[in-house]
A = this chain, B = another copy of it.
Amino acid sequence: MKGSRVEKQIEFAREIDRLKRVERRTLLADGSRLENSAEHSWHIALLAVLLVEHAKDREIDLLRVVRMLLVHDLVEIDAGDTYCYDEEGRRGQADRERRAAERIFGLLPEDQAAALRAAWEEFDRGETPEARFAAALDRVQPVLLNHSSGGKSWVEHGIRRDQVLERIRPAKEGAPALWKVAAELLDDAVERGWLQE
């Protein structure tokens, strides 16, 4: 089996397990602990199935969206999760992630390495209707969790509403109705003092 197609696939399957150890800065909805990138990916993939009716583009390919969301964070296995409000940390992020993609997708048989890498790049570029909808889910879900946990993570990092609004701006393009939900949660969070004006 060594070096065979299925062996490469199984090796990849073992390797990606490490995404479960990558911590994000978002707490779970109950505030009990930080979310990891694997369970985050599950959450938004299921939300894609559930919320596809809110995609701006009606002719969206749902499987394409789900595939992107399932792989979109894999590079974090090597590159780590970069906090979206950490200007410093974001420098060099693109390079780190490119090298990570090279190594991780490179474990796969060539055709699959190319296909999954293309899905990751499509997400990253955010130019297709599918990528824009996927980005909307990726941006709105943390707002939902942060709001559910009483804004703990926002308070801890001293985040302002305009920073989050800037962060979720792509959601306006990908899923306007979901952007609206998120914006209302932000208003509520400011009112409750969880988010700075």
A: which residues have CB within 8 A of B? 1, 6, 9-10, 12-14, 16-21, 28-30, 32, 35-36, 38-39, 41-43, 45-47, 49-51, 54, 62-63, 66-67, 70-71, 108, 112, 116, 141, 144-145, 148, 177-178, 181, 184
* Distance from A119 Cβ to chain B, minimum over Cβ atoms (Å): 9
Q: Contact at B9–A50, with CB atoms within 8 Å? A: yes
Which one, B17, B49, B50, B108, contacts A29 given CB within 8 A?
B17
Q: Contact at A50–B112, with CB atoms within 8 Å? A: yes
Chain B residue contacts of A112, Cβ below 8 A:
50
A-B contact pairs, 28 of them (CB 8 A): A1-B181, A1-B184, A6-B177, A6-B178, A6-B181, A9-B50, A12-B50, A13-B50, A13-B141, A13-B144, A16-B43, A17-B28, A17-B30, A19-B42, A20-B28, A20-B35, A20-B39, A39-B39, A39-B42, A41-B46, A42-B42, A42-B45, A45-B70, A46-B71, A49-B70, A50-B108, A63-B66, A66-B70
Question: Known contacts being A1-B184, A29-B17, A32-B21, is A70 close to B51, with CB within 8 Å?
Answer: no
The binding surface of chain A is classed by DSSP as: helix
* Distance from A137 Cβ to chain B, minimum over Cβ atoms (Å): 10
